[in-house]
Structure 1
């Protein structure tokens, strides 16, 4: 199982950053929360901070972790580790993705998500779910 971290980055207005995978990536043009694979010896938190800097040229602060979410694709399985974050420095510079958008939480379900991200979207949108640490409300 591949361990992957993802960032739910929320701005001061409560909008959430979503990124679109490039046409050359696996799952081309699907929307996702940015992040990436944990490297050997790396903590999930360090991975997330590194990946967001590499992919978006942003420095983020982790606010809280969310529950891990396993997902089985036909060819492989991942364990997606979400973290609620905020930007502390930088301006978005897309280095791998095709596009990004700041979205109202109410619009998140309208995206064409990479399948593993869908449970994370539902966790974020359901603050009454006691297992979710993702809500910042």
Structure 2
């Protein structure tokens, strides 16, 4: 079994809603909804990763607040350790680069979206 790939995920809240983004066609996990984020590079902290990824993929500036939790998922071709943080959206208008849609949803309706498997345990942590 290969070593798990560390991925950081941002849980961004606004007015009681949570941001999710749908992967564009042709991307890994295409058409699946996920919390924004990405692969943690060598010698990079999860917090640095989130700032970099959200700037690259959405053109927004964020502040990482606190750790929410993590999940592990084994896909057929890889294993993922997803580390989720509460994140504040500070500035910038969303520009979609690897996603084709974003949505603001209530915590109790997150699982109505076709979420990426690694994100489902994090979604379950966000509501009782």
Fold in common (TM above 0.5):
yes
- Is 1:123 paired with 2:119? no
Greater strand share, 1 or 2?
2
Q: Compare 73-82 and 60-69 and name the one that shifted more.
A: 60-69
Instruction: Look up the SS of the partner of 2:126 in the other structure.
Output: helix
Which of 19, 22, 33 aligns to 2:21? It is 19
Matched with 1:62 is 64
Deviation of the 1:84 alpha carbon: 0.8
RMSD of the alignment, in Å? Answer: 0.9
Give the number of equivalent residue pairs: 125
Instruction: Look up the SS of the partner of 1:108 in the other structure.
Output: helix
CA distance in 1, matches of 2:127, 2:63: 21
CA distance in 2, matches of 1:26, 1:98: 13
Structure 2 unaligned residues grouped into runs of 5+:
none
CA distance in 1, matches of 2:81, 2:108: 25
Deviation of the 1:81 alpha carbon: 0.4
Structure 1 unaligned residues grouped into runs of 5+:
127-137
Map 1:27-42; keep pairs closer than 5 Å.
27-42=29-44
Instruction: Look up the SS of the partner of 1:100 in the other structure.
Output: strand
Matched with 1:7 is 10
Deviation of the 1:106 alpha carbon: 2.1
Matched with 2:89 is 87
Instruction: Look up the SS of the partner of 2:49 in the other structure.
Output: helix
Instruction: Look up the SS of the partner of 1:88 in the other structure.
Output: strand
1:7-43, Cα deviation, whole Å (9 max, x unpaired): 01101x1111100001111221010001000111101
- Is 1:78 paired with 2:87? no
CA distance in 1, matches of 2:10, 2:96: 15
